[in-house]
Amino acid sequence: MKLPKTARSIAGKLIRSIPVLRRQILFSTDYRRLAGAEEARAVASQGWLTARTVKRQDRAYKTLIEDARAGEPRIDLRVAAYAVQATGLAAPNLLDVGCGSGYYSEIFAILVPGGVRYTGTDYSEAMIDRARAHYPAGTFGVADATRLPYPDGAFDIVFNGVSLMHIIDYAAAIREAARVASRFCIFHSVPMFDADHPTAFLQKYAYGAPVVEAVFGREELLTICNEAGLRLVREWPSIAYDVSAVTGQASSTRTWLLATGG
């Protein structure tokens, strides 16, 4: 039975007021700013590696996938499909870095005409186990985004969907994406400051687990991409993500389509 609006509002306020409840129920909460990359490494946890976190994230994306099947995909899922289509490649060979439970394999099948030839990889074995359970016909493997086990130019597109923000050595991950991609890289729903501002690291609770993430300075990120041989072709606004209450600077997410130098 659905609660009346007033009751839902009261319940929401109660949940947000109690740390143990909000950390277990809300998707993202309890942000705090870190001093920099060194502190980020020092406090980095195994949050994304636990089966409990994977299960909670999977439950959250179940509704999104059902909406996409019903013809009502959320904006970030639409933008991901737009970026793949903008490459102009028919049924491209695509590597999804940080694939989680593999949901983008289904999203691309639904939203990209002709689909993609999909491979998913994630550093979390628990995530890959869940991906294989959901999509047994798919190709998935455990790998570190900063040391991908693929030869140069192995994929038409390397797609990084909402995982670059969780990689402390993001410059290495960008270089690896550029190395493995023969045509394009897509960095999807990347949180960036709206005004030029240095990259900041935050700690938060995501699906009940403490994790570290970055909000990027646009110019710094663009410089790293250019040095890796990537050229920005197009960009799109994606899902809202303003953490100015913690950083003091307004932020949002962007999706970048970048061409390789090859």
- Whether pTM exceeds 0.85: yes
Residue 165's nearest CA partner among 254, 49, 54 is: 254
pLDDT tens per residue across span 190-239: 999 998 899 999 987 766 677 888 999 999 999 999 999 999 999 999 99
Q: Which CATH superfamily is domain 41-259 in?
A: Vaccinia Virus protein VP39 (3.40.50.150)
Q: Taking the alpha carbons of 172, 221, 158, 110 in that order, is the dihedral positive or negative? A: positive
* β-bridge mates for residue 211, sequence order: 204
Residue 208: predicted pLDDT: 66
d(CA 142, CA 125): 6
Residue 112: predicted pLDDT: 97
Q: Please give the chain's pLDDT, 262 residues, in tens.
A: 444 545 344 433 433 443 443 334 445 567 889 888 888 887 766 656 666 777 777 877 888 999 999 999 999 999 999 999 999 999 999 999 999 999 999 999 999 999 999 999 999 998 899 999 999 999 999 999 999 999 999 999 999 988 999 999 999 999 999 999 999 999 999 999 998 899 999 987 766 677 888 999 999 999 999 999 999 999 999 999 999 999 999 999 999 999 998 6
Q: Quickly list DSSP for 188-240.
A: EEEEEESS----EEEEEEETTEEEEEEEB-HHHHHHHHHHTT-EEEEEEE-S-
CB 97, CB 177: distance < 8 Å: yes
Contact partners, residue 135, CB within 8 Å, separation at least 6: 102, 105, 106
pLDDT tens per residue across span 160-172: 988 999 999 999 9
Around Cβ 30, how many Cβ atoms within 10 Å?
A: 14
Location of structure tokens 């406090």:
43
d(CA 172, CA 148): 10
Residue 211: predicted pLDDT: 82
Residue 133: predicted pLDDT: 94
d(CA 140, CA 15): 37
d(CA 241, CA 253): 6
